[in-house]
Amino acid sequence: MASNTPNAATTTQPPPKRTLTRRFQGMLLNLNDVWQFVTRFFREVFLPPYEFGEIVRQCFEVGYKSLGLISLTGFITGLVFTNQSRPSLAEFGATSWLPALIAIAIVRALAPLITALIAAGKVGSNIGAELGSMKVTEQIDAMEVSATNPFKFLVVSRVLATTLMMPVLTMYTAFVALVGGFISVNANEATSLATFVEQAFSAITFLDVFSSTAKAFVFGFTIGIVGCYKGYNSSKGTEGVGRAANAAVVTSMFLIFIEEVIIMQLVNAFRPA
């Protein structure tokens, strides 16, 4: 029996302490790689030459690629959220609070989060796959030997584009979601547009808009830097490209949720009681 044969046991089960040490070392090395990558970004972003043309092109790509999906998702979110919130408020006879509730929920949380998650799936995976493919087919090396800094051209431009475009896309999502919410409120409560706008905007504070925009910047940076890191460091082969695209989405989504919680706590600390 296996339990009575110590030799067999040692060959099939490696010493747990060694494995843990190796994993821990690997994790630290990985963290160091990420740190080097992020610090290199902040070093290169301020140094000339500036790739303005490429940054504008990437901004267009980020915005254009996500626009359709964001429009649809934002609209449905606004519509469904309003419909789902109505019964609870109706129990207290407070359906007149719907515009304020919708506006607060959309501006504070839903718009930045939905936009970031959609962009992580659409843009982040694209960045991971594109850079991963360029890496394994030596296109990044080709760029480097032709005296172009590939980090600046590929990474800095993409990270800046996602960081700058995410607040714009978030505002757009908020607008589309509020349109969805208004359609539902108008159809059910016969609330006019003027009343809806007045009630919605009276509920939103400067802190809400500021925190939403700050979150969008952070989420955009996360999507860009994670996608670029995974693609730029992908291993050889087509399998590596797929893994880079997948890891770009999963890791950035995970980080977005963590950041959401942290920023929410920070903002609430500043919110007047």
Partner 1 sequence: MDTIPTSDVVIAIRGLKISFGDLHVLRGVDLDVYRGENLVVLGRSGTGKSVLIKILVGLLRPDAGTVQVLGQDVTRLAGRELDELRLKLGFSFQNSALYDSMTVRENLRFPLVRNVRNLSSAEVNKAIEEALDDVGLSQTIDQMPSELSGGQRKRIGIARTLILKPDIMLYDEPTAGLDPITSGDINELINEVKERHGTTGIVITHDLTCAKTVGDRVAMLLDGRFERIGTFEEVFEQRADDERVQQFYDYNFVS
Give the nearer residue to partner 1 in terms of CB position, either 167 or 227: 227
Interface residue with partner 1 among 55, 89, 109, 144 (CB under 8 A) is: 144
Identify the CA nearest to 134 among candidates 240, 51, 28, 213: 240
Q: Does 44 bind partner 1 (CB under 8 A)?
A: no
Q: Does 134 bind partner 1 (CB under 8 A)?
A: yes
Minimum Å gap between C-beta 138 and partner 1 is: 4
Give the nearer residue to partner 1 in terms of CB position, either 66 or 126: 126
47: left (phi over 0), alpha (psi -120 to 50) or beta: beta
Which x/- pattern over 100-119 shows residues binding partner 1 (rule: CB under 8 A)?
A: --------------------
Total residues at interface with partner 1 (CB under 8 A): 14
Give the nearer residue to partner 1 in terms of CB position, either 1 or 147: 147
Q: How far, in Å, are 1, 3, 5, 21, 26 from residue 14 at the CA level?
A: 19, 15, 15, 12, 17
Interface residue with partner 1 among 27, 28, 72, 142 (CB under 8 A) is: 142
Minimum Å gap between C-beta 139 and partner 1 is: 5
Give the nearer residue to partner 1 in terms of CB position, either 146 or 265: 146
Round to whole Å and give the CA distance between 176 and 170.
Answer: 10
Q: Does 9 bind partner 1 (CB under 8 A)?
A: no
Round to whole Å and give the CA distance between 158 and 56.
Answer: 10
Length of the chain: 273
Q: Which stretch binds partner 1 (CB under 8 A): 67-75, 129-137, 161-169, 185-193?
A: 129-137
Q: What is the DSSP letter of 7?
A: H
Q: Does 145 bind partner 1 (CB under 8 A)?
A: yes
Give the nearer residue to partner 1 in terms of CB position, either 3 or 146: 146
Q: Please, which residues have CB within 8 angstroms of residue 247's CB and are 6 or more apart in sequence?
A: 128, 230
Q: Does 137 bind partner 1 (CB under 8 A)?
A: yes
Give the nearer residue to partner 1 in terms of CB position, either 62 or 111: 62
Q: Tell the residue number behind the tokens 């959609």, with chain if given.
A: 118
Minimum Å gap between C-beta 133 and partner 1 is: 7
What is the biggest distance separating any 2 CA atoms in the chain, rounded to whole angstroms? 81
Which x/- pattern over 146-185 shows residues binding partner 1 (rule: CB under 8 A)?
A: xxx-------------------------------------
CA angle at 228 for the pair 157 and 137, rounded to the nearest 5° = 100
What residue ranges in the chain does DSSP mark as E strands? none
Q: Are 88 and 187 in contact (CB under 8 A)?
A: no
Sign of torsion over alpha carbons 260, 263, 266, 271: negative
Binding site for partner 1 (CB under 8 A): 130, 133-134, 137-139, 141-148
